[in-house]
Chain A
Amino acid sequence: MAFDITRPILLVDDYVTMLRILRNIFVQLKFTSIHEATDGVTALAELRAGDYSLVMSDWNMEPMTGLELLREVRADEKLKQIPFIMVTAESKTENVIVAKKAGVSNYIVKPFNANTLKSKLVSVIGEF
């Protein structure tokens, strides 16, 4: 069954510029319910209050980092199955391994392009 692109997704980044870039790409991909948060704490509250089908988050944020958000999501019975893609400039080996151990669904290093983002989306949620 194809992923339902009308279901809400959450984009998390403390750089508004990056949120706009991500939003634009998702609009081009025909996603219709795109929500945004500029920090991990807000994102977690959003996730707990809503019915999200995907999280795409930056790592380097304050006060809650993307990794902490990921761990919170994976530790939450209601949220733990949500696909979580890290989009970050942190590109060191240890970062990827730690994110993987924390349960990240995929990892996109910045800067990226729309094709990379789409291919990672497909690998996580399937064709849409």
Chain B
Amino acid sequence: MSGIADQEQLAQQLIDLQKAEPGSVRLEDVSAVVAGIMDAARKEMASSDNEVVAKMIGLADYIESAKREIASLRPDEVKDRHLPAAADELDEIVAETAEATNRIMDATETIQGAVADADEATQETIFNASNQIFEACGFQDITGQRVTKVVKALKDIEEKVDSLISAFGDEIAEYKALNIADEQPTDAPADAPVDFDDISDEMLLQGPQLADEAMLQDEIDRLLNSA
């Protein structure tokens, strides 16, 4: 170690080691360089001790402040009350709309059956109108899928809240509150090339798209008919 006098010499030794042929480096040379690096690091640390301590104190203050802010959010209520309630409400929406839709379709079929003996023009009018009712009932399928997506998002949030509760441990009990759900990491950029042979079914199943993201039937037709 005493043979290494300054950092320039140490840097040169490192370069020499990097350039050396494999197997030609002596263990004592490597040991000397490592010792030199550690010595230099120790000296650097000693000269900046005060600065490090000040930064540590600032960091501790910041963490305490963050804990207080997190506590004030009452995340325990979010997890135990708000999220389950929201999920239940959404489940209920799906069930109620399904029931109502089935009643509408029952009634429509009754109407269709009742005009069997009517004249042809009347039958056509009734069937055309009832067809439109059936088509409109498709809303239940779409809204059901959209609500399912929201419920899934709520469950994801609940899991993240759970993770934060676990991480804070005693702090949660002390403050009786909790967290901030991290934002989902973003996927690959939208313009990234896609390998359609390697894309999983799970990745494709995103449910109904928002209006500005969805393809129109005409666009789908063009895509299907393209070479």
Given A21-B137, A100-B224, residue A91 in contact with residue B215 (CB < 8 A): yes
Asked if B215 and A94 sit within 8 Å, CB to CB, the answer is no
Partner of A94, one of B102, B145, B194, B217: B194
- Determine if B131 is an interface residue (Cβ-Cβ < 8 Å): yes
Q: Digit string of B81-121 for contact with A (CB within 8 Å is 1, else 0)?
A: 00000000000000000100110010001000000000000
Residues of chain A with a CB closer than 8 A to B207's CB: 60, 89-90
Partner of B215, one of A92, A98, A104, A110: A92
- The binding surface of chain B is classed by DSSP as helix
B19 to nearest A CB, angstroms?
50
Stretch at the interface among A41-49, A76-84, A112-120: A112-120
Q: Digit string of A62-88 for contact with B (CB within 8 Å is 1, else 0)?
A: 000101100000000000000000000
- Determine if A122 is an interface residue (Cβ-Cβ < 8 Å): no
Asked if A21 and B138 sit within 8 Å, CB to CB, the answer is yes
Residues of chain B with a CB closer than 8 A to A111's CB: 135, 138-139, 141-142
Chain A residues within 8 Å of B, Cβ to Cβ? 13, 15-18, 20-21, 24-25, 28, 59-60, 65, 67-68, 89-98, 100-101, 104, 106-114, 116
